[in-house]
Amino acid sequence: MTGRKGRWSKADQDGGIEDAALLILEWLAEQGVNAMLRVDAERLAEGQHSWTFAASGGPLEAGMRADGASAALCLSMAVARLRELGLIVPY
């Protein structure tokens, strides 16, 4: 993208959980779990929690979902819920 206008954030050297998002998704897939992290522009425009994490399959008896106002919050809540369900995510 040319003429970025500063829209892209710079990498945070002390990064949080969102830096591990792809590793978490890949690890879940290796466990047979289908998972996704998405942002909803309509909910963002309405001031609602716009980030959603959803997972199902593999060792999960039922699907699960977590919503959050930011990617970090959503993913943190999702990892906590996965741990409650017995999947100890190593990140």
Residue 76: C-alpha distances to residues 38, 46, 70 (Å): 14, 23, 10
Instruction: Indicate the domain borders of the chain.
Output: 17-84
pTM of the model: 0.79
Determine the residue type at 9: S
Query: Is residue 5 within 8 Å of residue 32, measured between CB atoms?
Result: no
The model's pLDDT over 16-42, given as tens digits with 9 standing for 90+, comes to 787 899 999 999 999 999 999 999 999
Instruction: Give me 28's structure tokens.
Output: 């879940």
DSSP state of 63: -
Helices (H) and strands (E) in the chain, counts: 3, 3
Query: How confident is the model at residue 19, as a pLDDT?
Result: 84
